Amino acid sequence: MWLLAGSFLPLCWLLMMATHECGHVCGAWLTGGRVATVVLHPLEISRTDLADNPHPLTVAWAGPVLGVTVPCLIWVVWRVARIPGAFLPRFFAGFCCVANGAYVGVGSFAKVGDAGTLLDHGSPPWVLWGFGAVTVPAGLWLWHRLGPEFGIGADGRRVRPAAAFTVLALFIVLAALAAILGR
């Protein structure tokens, strides 16, 4: 149980940052922007720096919007395909909803990161709050009743060691790759 939770949470953080930055990169490419650098290091907050950004509002929104949408779609496809372990992408989707929603919604008060960019380029504060007000509760809903899947609580199921070690190995490999290539 602890091995799975202890390796899956940092894996979710790393994958959430990657998905979010992928949104910015896609937004830049689709609007004619040019990406200078993507920082995705396990010990840093990720960011995408653009050499040319003709549509900063679109690029800024693409990060949190794709950062929420892609994980949710992955979970839906996983669930519809009846692939075992659907609780893992469900938790990840919830994690991304909470992280992106809080980042944009709460970040709007201090104009932090993407929230500052969104506000500086014309997004009204209520839109950022609305994004957070929708995505954070959606993430909490996705997390609801997942504890037993992770072996937590009186009804906790037995966590398969293979699943825990697979998640740990995936985290180690992705963290190492991000540390080596992430700048």
The sign of the dihedral angle between the CA atoms of 74, 80, 83, 89 is positive
Domain count, the chain: 1
Which pTM was predicted? 0.91
Question: What's the rounded Cα separation, in Å, for the pair 57 and 140?
Answer: 27
Q: How many Cα atoms occupy the beta-carbon half-sphere of 168 within 13 Å?
A: 12
Q: Residue 47: beta bridge partners?
A: 39
The CA-to-CA distance between both ends of the chain, in Å, stands at 33
**pLDDT per position in the chain (183 positions), as tens?**
678 878 899 999 999 999 999 999 999 999 999 999 999 988 889 999 999 999 999 999 999 999 999 999 999 999 999 998 899 999 999 999 999 999 999 999 999 999 999 999 999 999 999 999 999 999 999 999 988 888 787 777 777 788 888 888 888 898 888 888 766
The residue segments making up the domain with residue 146 are: 2-181
Instruction: Give DSSP secondary structure letters for 63-105.
Output: HHHHHHHHHHHHHHHHHHTT-S-THHHHHHHHHHHHHHHHHHH
